A and B are shown apart, each in its own frame.
Chain A
Amino acid sequence: MWKRAADPMELPLVLLIGLLTAVATWLMLSRNLIRLLLGFGVLGNAVNLSIFVAGRLTRDTPPLVPLDAETIAGAFANPLPQALVLTAIVIGFGLLAFALVLAWVAYERLGTVRTDEMRVAEPPEEKA
């Protein structure tokens, strides 16, 4: 279990996460597909920062084991969040790349990027 005092950088980072989340939510509420995807990108960064903060911010030595030792002496920074964030960034990048290409294809074939005008799969009730 965790037992460490919070680092002073925690509050600014948390505020930044809040700000990014607010911006992303605002963007994603748009009916424009491009804004929705931009919102996804911003929200992804907010979530990645949350992982980083969840791993605790500390001012310790880097998690590198010296050549002549088996373990690190003393406190060291938590390396796991960086591995998680790195994975999440790569996955988020892949998803965003696909989504952008999809938006482009949608614009080409459907002629719009507004989600409320995309009614091909679920057409409005047929007129009798």
Chain B
Amino acid sequence: MSKRQVKVYPRFERLWHWMQVVLITTLAITGFGMNGVHGLLPFGATVMLHTMAALVLIGLWIFATFWLFTTGTWKQFIPRIEGMFAVARFYAFGVFKGEEHPYEKKFWRKHNPLQAATYFVIKWTVFPAVWITGLLYLSYNFWEPMPNSGFWLPIVANLHLIAAYVVVTFVIVHVYLLTVGHGFRHHVKPMLSGFDEVDLTPEQEAYLEQNEPWRLKG
């Protein structure tokens, strides 16, 4: 085993992440504006910005899904119980006692088990809830003629709203957890440069040196 600087976040994945940052921030600000939480922007412009950001984000997600499955990266996001308890225990107690983070980054496991599980749940529940209710909300006039549409509209809208609050809650915890362990800057850097320190098995190292030398630095 040797620690190497490995490209764990290729260009598309970084673009994907930072576009999500921009788009989700835009959607949150405009969305809560439309909901009446604040009045920072004129309503009409807010609706336009929200709609366009949402359509771009859905487009991005379609690309990302395609990318995940063609590159095999989807495997990174499959949650495993193994090690999850240790990470949870660390955040709850160990971190206060100066213990080490129990997770060691591996080439095919670039997220810690709790992280992978969280992303998995978000990708399969919260994000679909947001975009499905969002598209339904946006296309209300198409299904309005259906019976009881007036009953369903507030349900769709409120599901959209609560899902949005869940996303904001996720962002708060997500950003905070960057400060735990090696610290905020150390955690953000790989998402900018793409490179992170990973324990490689000799086989992995040999394979990468032979076939994907661009993944290795130094």
Q: Do A and B come from one complex?
A: no
- Measured CB to CB, the residues of A under 8 A from B are none
